[in-house]
C-alpha cells in the first residue's frame, strides 16, 4: 500500500469519524435508530457545494451545512416525539424526503468543486507540505476539536440528561428531564455532525453527488462496532475515541482490499473483502477472551 493511499484512508476515515460520532450519539447514547444520516450526509455536501459555488466563504458554507443537518435531525426527532411516528420510520421518512430536497438544493445531481476554493485549499500553505498530508492533518485537528467538544458537552447537566434519556427514559422523566426535548437536541447534534462530514467530504473529493449518502448509516455503524470491539470502555473519552479509530480502521480495510489484487482477488470482490476484514476485526476480541479463559483455566 502506497503512502498516498494510506494518507487518503486516514483523511477519508477521519471524515467518516464525524459520521461515526453521529451514529454513536444517536444509536448508542440516545438508543435511537437513526437512518436520517443517509440523507443528512449528502445534505451537508449539497448545502456546502451550492453556497461555495455561489461564492460564499467556504467556512460559512460549511457552517450553514451543519445547521441544515441539525434541522434535518430535529425534524426526525419531532416526527417521533410530537407526531408519535415510530423512531425508525420517522428517520426513514426524513431520509427519503431529503433525497428530493437535496436534488432541489443542488438543482442538479452533481455539483463539482474541483475549481472552487474549499476549507482545505484556503488553509493550504503555499510551501513545505503537500496537500494530501495537509488535508489529513487538518482533519485530525477538526475531529479532535469535535470529539473534545462532544466529550465536554456530554458531562454537562444537559449532556447527562441526554445520556439518562437514552439509558432509562422513565427514570429520566422521573428526575425532571424533558426527554422529548433531549431527543430533539440529540438528533440535531448527531445530524449536524454528519452534515459536517458530508460538507468536508464534498470539499476534499471534488464535489457533491446525490448518490453520496447511500450506505452512510452502514459505514457509521460498522465504525462504531469495530471501534467498540477494539477499544471497549465505559469511559466517555474512550467511547468517542474508539468510534473514530473504528472509522479510520474501516477505511484502512478498504484501502487494503483495494490492494488485494496480488492474492488473485478482483475489483468486484471489494465489498466482500471489506466485509471479511471487518468480520475478522469483530472476532478478534472474542478470540482474545477465549484464549484468556483457557489460559486462566
Partner 1 sequence: MIQLKLVRPLLGALLSLCAAMPVATQAQSVAVTSIVEHPALDSIKDGVKAALEEAGFTEEKGLNWQFQTAQGNTAIAAQIARKFVGDRPDVIVAIATPSAQAVVAATRDIPVVYSAVTDPVAAQLVESFEPSGTNVTGVSDMLDLERQIELIRAVVPNAKTVGMVYNPGEANSAVVVKQMREMLPEYGMTLMEASAPRTVDVGAAARSLIGNVDVIYTNTDNNVVSAYEALVKVGNDAQIPLVASDPDSVKRGAVAALGVNYYDLGLQTGAMVIDILKGAEPGEMPSQLSEGLELHVNLQAATKQGVTLSNDLIDSAANVIR
By CB under 8 A, is residue 263 in contact with partner 1? Answer: no
Interaction between residue 5 and partner 1 (CB under 8 A) = yes
Q: How far apart are CA 152 and CA 178, in angstroms?
A: 21
Which cell numbers hold the place of 46? Answer: 449539497
Cα–chain-centroid distance for residue 76? Answer: 17
| Beta carbon nearer to partner 1, 1 or 60 | 1
C-alpha 125: how far from its chain's center? 27
Tell me: does residue 112 bind partner 1 (CB under 8 A): yes
Piece of the chain touching partner 1 by CB under 8 A; list 1-9, 62-70, 147-155, 172-180: 1-9
Residue 207, helix vs strand vs coil: strand
Other CB atoms within 10 A of residue 167 CB: 13
Nearer to partner 1, 42 or 159 (CB): 42
Alpha helix positions (H), the chain: 3-23, 37-53, 58-81, 87-106, 119-123, 131-154, 157-167, 169-174, 179-205, 216-230, 236-258, 270-296
* Count of alpha carbons within 13 angstroms of residue 69, beta-carbon side: 34
And the C-alpha cell for 249? 480502521
In whole angstroms, what is the distance from residue 219 CA to residue 223 CA?
A: 6
By beta-carbon proximity to partner 1, the closer residue of 43 and 183 is 43
Interaction between residue 114 and partner 1 (CB under 8 A): yes
The number of C-alpha atoms within 13 Å of 195 and in the hemisphere containing its C-beta is 32
d(CA 253, CA 249): 6
Minimum CB distance to partner 1, residue 149 (Å) = 24
User: Rounded to the nearest whole angstrom, what is the least distance from the CB of residue 84 to partner 1 in the complex?
Assistant: 28
- Name the one range near partner 1 by CB under 8 A: 21-29, 147-155, 170-178, 260-268: 260-268
By CB under 8 A, tell whether 129 contacts partner 1.
Answer: no
Among 103, 137, 236, 265, binds partner 1 (CB under 8 A): 103
Binding test (CB under 8 A) with partner 1, winner from 14, 23, 29, 113: 113
Ranges within 27-86 binding partner 1 (CB under 8 A): none
CB 31 within 8 A of CB 195: no
Closer Cβ to partner 1, 159 or 207, answer by number: 207
Show contacts with partner 1 in window 81-100 (CB under 8 A).
Answer: 99
| Window contacting partner 1 (CB under 8 A); options: 108-116, 137-145, 185-193, 229-237 | 108-116
> Which residues, in sequence order, are CB contacts of 273 under 8 Å at separation 6+?
256, 257, 260, 265
CA atoms within 13 A on the CB side of 159: 12
Which residue number, 57 or 261, has a Cβ lying nearer to partner 1? Answer: 261
* Binding to partner 1 in span 204-243, by CB under 8 A: 204-207, 209-212, 214-215, 219
Question: Of the two residues 95 and 164, which places its CB atom closer to partner 1 in the complex?
Answer: 95
The CB-of-139 to partner 1 minimum distance in angstroms stands at: 13
- DSSP string computed for 82-131: TS---HHHHHHHHHHHHHHHHHHHHSSSEEE-TTS--HHHHH--SSSS-H
Residues near partner 1 (CB under 8 A) are: 1-5, 7-9, 12, 16, 99, 103, 108-110, 112-115, 132, 201, 204-207, 209-212, 214-215, 219, 251, 254-255, 258-259, 261, 267-268, 270-271
Amino acid at each position: 500500500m502506497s503512502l498516498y493511499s494510506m494518507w487518503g484512508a486516514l483523511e477519508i476515515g477521519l471524515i467518516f469519524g464525524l459520521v461515526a460520532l453521529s451514529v454513536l450519539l444517536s444509536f448508542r447514547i440516545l438508543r435511537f435508530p437513526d437512518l436520517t444520516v443517509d440523507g443528512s450526509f449528502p445534505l451537508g455536501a449539497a448545502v456546502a457545494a451550492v453556497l461555495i459555488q455561489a461564492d460564499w466563504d467556504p467556512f460559512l458554507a460549511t457552517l450553514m451545512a451543519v445547521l441544515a443537518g441539525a434541522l434535518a435531525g430535529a425534524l426526525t426527532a419531532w416526527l417521533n416525539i410530537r407526531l408519535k411516528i415510530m423512531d425508525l420510520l420517522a428517520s426513514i421518512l426524513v431520509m427519503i424526503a431529503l433525497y428530493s430536497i437535496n436534488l432541489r438544493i443542488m438543482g442538479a445531481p452533481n455539483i463539482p468543486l474541483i475549481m472552487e476554493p474549499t476549507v482545505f485549499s484556503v488553509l493550504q500553505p503555499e510551501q513545505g507540505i503537500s496537500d494530501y498530508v495537509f488535508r489529513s492533518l487538518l482533519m485530525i485537528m477538526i475531529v479532535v476539536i469535535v470529539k473534545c467538544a462532544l466529550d465536554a458537552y456530554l458531562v454537562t447537566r444537559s449532556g447527562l440528561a441526554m445520556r439518562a434519556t437514552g439509558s432509562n427514559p422513565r427514570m429520566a422523566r422521573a428526575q425532571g428531564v424533558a426527554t422529548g426535548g433531549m431527543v430533539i437536541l440529540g438528533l440535531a447534534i448527531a445530524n449536524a455532525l454528519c452534515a459536517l462530514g458530508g460538507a468536508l467530504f464534498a470539499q476534499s473529493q471534488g464535489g457533491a453527488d446525490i448518490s453520496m449518502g447511500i450506505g452512510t448509516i452502514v459505514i457509521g455503524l460498522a465504525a462504531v462496532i469495530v471501534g467498540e470491539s477494539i477499544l471497549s470502555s465505559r469511559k466517555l473519552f474512550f467511547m468517542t475515541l474508539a468510534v473514530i479509530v473504528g472509522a479510520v480502521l474501516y477505511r484502512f480495510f478498504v484501502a487494503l482490499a483495494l490492494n488485494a489484487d496480488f492474492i488473485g482477488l478482483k475489483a468486484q470482490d471489494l465489498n466482500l473483502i471489506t466485509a471479511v476484514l471487518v468480520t475478522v476485526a469483530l472476532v478478534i476480541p472474542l478470540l482474545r477472551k477465549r484464549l484468556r479463559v483457557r489460559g486462566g483455566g
